[in-house]
């Protein structure tokens, strides 16, 4: 039923509202859809059509849909709705969400919207915008309520009731001293169950916190590792400046995972849905990596050129090149994916490099022995024992090499501050192709007595 309604709205918008009647029809149909479905329609239609749909919604639904949209789509809507009353939409956003939206807008529009905000919202937004995009301070909520450590539980509850609308979250409450330095945290459930006369300094827990200038991904991983509902964020002097909530930490990790997946597939992440992204933007997200990989693949061609005379002597060797290069690339990518995942969740650190090499060496040996035995048996049946020995030994050697390289490269990327995903599939495949061919022809030369 919802699908039919969405298709009807799309048809009406595509044909052009053209008057008050069709807009009323769109509004009537829109009332039967959820916020998620309306958000999808806005993301999947053209800027003009999405603006028309947005205008057909009632004020409350319009606000909920706007808050549900990603910053890129919020910016797309605002660019079409310029000159209309959009200030209330921007004012209703959380400061961190508002900062993400302002990043998507031209400088002139950004300054105009900042000026239109109320004084307290403008101050909180400016605080968030003051941090780099890679810092966790850019994703925290500065709308935080600190409880004085000298409060009793009763006083804290009374204080919380009087200002309950100010903080973004109250599930975990930070405890601060007179200089606003973080001294502890207390959960709302524990606070409600405490004796009214208990002092917060005595019943609060040791806080798990982060500095506002720390890397957002590292903090988000720490957040999830400790299964927190919220995390206090402090400045360099330990003073409370904000709170990181679960949804923001999850969004950071989801974006990081999507970006890593895109890069491991030799592309860049596109910030909008596939169907609403222009063809040229998709081309830009892919072409740089294709050029880099094409240039690096020249190395493989040069290796083949070096051993061209060996191929002339034993033409059958050429038949196995796709098998060997594919096996090397796949083995390396498997190892890299495993280690990259271990890095992301904190199971592996840079100091574990020797242990990773030793582990992947053993894994590669076992995989290589299994594949090499199979390759030896099949190749021997068709091309003879000599060719079978070459294929079997090459598969063993390539698997060992590729597993070690795939395990090491993400750690090296981490060491130099690069994204481990970048060093995974694209570059490992190219490296293993060229190195695997060197191994192949070296073994063939020795076993078959080529010159």
* Residue with the larger pLDDT of the pair 122 and 49: 122
Reported as a single tens digit per residue, the pLDDT across 350-375 is 888 999 999 999 999 999 999 999 99
The Cα–Cα gap between 93 and 177 comes to 30
User: DSSP class of residue 204?
Assistant: P
User: DSSP class of residue 131?
Assistant: S
Mean predicted lDDT score pLDDT of the chain: 83
DSSP result, 235-294: -TTSBEEEEEEHHHHHHHHHHHHHHHHHHHTT----SS-TTTS-HHHHHHHHHHHHHHHH
The Cα–Cα gap between 391 and 397 comes to 10
Reported as a single tens digit per residue, the pLDDT across 256-295 is 777 766 666 656 666 666 666 667 776 776 677 677 677 6
pLDDT of residue 19: 46
In the chain, the percentage of residues whose pLDDT exceeds 90 is: 35
pLDDT of residue 336: 86
pLDDT of residue 20: 46
- How much is the average pLDDT of 212-235? 92
Residue pair 394/319 in contact (Cβ under 8 Å)? The answer is no
pLDDT of residue 90: 85
| Residue 140 clears pLDDT 90, i.e. is over it | yes
| Residue 13 clears pLDDT 70, i.e. is over it | no
Cα angle 292, 298, 301; round to 5: 150
Domains of the chain: 1-134 (1.25.60.10), 147-265 (3.10.580.10), 282-448 (1.10.357.20)
The Cα–Cα gap between 116 and 103 comes to 17
- How much is the average pLDDT of 433-451? 86
* Residue with the larger pLDDT of the pair 43 and 201: 201
Distance of CA 222 to the CA centre of its chain: 15
- How much is the average pLDDT of 319-325? 87
* Residue with the larger pLDDT of the pair 351 and 211: 211
* Residue with the larger pLDDT of the pair 19 and 373: 373
- How much is the average pLDDT of 202-219? 93
pLDDT of residue 271: 62
Cα angle 121, 251, 353; round to 5: 125
Q: How confident is the model at residue 342 (pLDDT cuts 50, 70, 90)?
A: confident
Locate 302 and state its tokens. 């040069």
Residue pair 199/151 in contact (Cβ under 8 Å)? The answer is yes
Q: Say whether 202 sits in a helix, a strand or coil.
A: helix
Reported as a single tens digit per residue, the pLDDT across 385-423 is 999 999 999 999 999 999 999 899 888 888 887 777 665
In the chain, the percentage of residues whose pLDDT exceeds 70 is: 86
pLDDT of residue 107: 79
| Residue 139 clears pLDDT 90, i.e. is over it | yes
Reported as a single tens digit per residue, the pLDDT across 39-98 is 888 777 777 777 788 888 888 888 888 888 888 778 878 877 765 567 788 888 888 888
Residue pair 57/65 in contact (Cβ under 8 Å)? The answer is yes
Residue pair 77/54 in contact (Cβ under 8 Å)? The answer is yes
Reported as a single tens digit per residue, the pLDDT across 172-197 is 999 999 999 999 999 999 999 999 99
β-bridge pairing 230-234 and 240-245:
antiparallel
Write down the H helix ranges in 104-195: 107-116, 119-129, 153-162, 188-193
pLDDT of residue 269: 62
Locate 408 and state its tokens. 């090491």
């Amino acid at each position: 039923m919802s699908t039919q309604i969405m298709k009807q709205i799309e048809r009406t918008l595509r044909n052009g509202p053209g008057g008050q009647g069709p807009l009323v029809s769109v509004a009537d149909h829109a009332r039967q859809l959820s916020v998620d479905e309306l958000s999808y329609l806005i993301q999947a239609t053209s800027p003009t059509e999405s603006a028309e749909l947005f205008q057909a919604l009632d004020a409350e639904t319009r606000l909920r849909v706007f808050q549900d949209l990603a910053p890129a789509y919020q910016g797309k809507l605002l660019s079409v709705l310029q000159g209309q009353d959009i200030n209330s939409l921007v004012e209703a956003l959380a400061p961190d969400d508002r900062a993400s939206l302002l990043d998507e807008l031209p400088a002139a529009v950004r300054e105009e919207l900042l000026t239109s905000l109320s004084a307290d919202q403008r101050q909180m937004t400016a605080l968030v915008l003051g941090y780099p995009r890679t810092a966790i301070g850019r994703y925290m909520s500065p709308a935080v309520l600190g409880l004085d450590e000298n409060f009793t539980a009763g006083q804290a509850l009374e204080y919380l009731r009087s200002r309950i609308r100010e903080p973004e979250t109250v599930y975990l409450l930070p405890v601060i001293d007179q200089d606003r330095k973080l001294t502890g945290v207390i959960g709302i459930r524990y606070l409600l169950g405490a004796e009214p006369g208990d002092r917060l300094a005595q019943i609060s827990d040791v806080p798990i916190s982060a500095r506002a200038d720390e890397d957002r991904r590292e903090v988000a991983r720490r957040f999830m590792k400790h299964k927190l509902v919220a995390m206090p964020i402090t400045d360099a002097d330990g003073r409370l400046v904000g709170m990181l909530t679960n949804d923001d930490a999850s969004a950071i990790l989801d974006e990081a995972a999507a970006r890593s997946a895109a890069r491991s597939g030799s592309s860049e992440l596109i910030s909008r849905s596939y169907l609403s992204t222009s063809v040229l933007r998709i081309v830009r997200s892919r072409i740089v990596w294709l050029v880099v990989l094409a240039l690096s693949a020249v190395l493989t061609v040069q290796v083949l050129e070096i051993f061209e005379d060996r191929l002339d002597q034993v033409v059958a060797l050429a038949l196995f090149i796709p098998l060997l290069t594919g096996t090397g690339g796949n083995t390396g990518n498997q190892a890299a994916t495993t280690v990259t995942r271990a890095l992301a969740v904190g199971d592996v650190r840079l100091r574990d490099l020797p242990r990773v090499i030793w582990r992947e060496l053993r894994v590669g040996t076992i995989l290589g022995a299994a594949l090499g035995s199979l390759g030896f048996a099949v190749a021997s049946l068709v091309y003879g024992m000599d060719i079978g020995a070459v294929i079997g030994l090459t598969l063993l050697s390539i698997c060992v090499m590729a597993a070690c390289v795939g395990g090491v490269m993400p750690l090296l990327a981490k060491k130099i501050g690069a994204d481990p995903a970048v060093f995974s599939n694209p570059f490992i495949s190219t490296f293993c192709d060229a190195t695997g061919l060197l191994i192949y022809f070296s073994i063939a030369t020795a076993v078959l007595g080529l010159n």
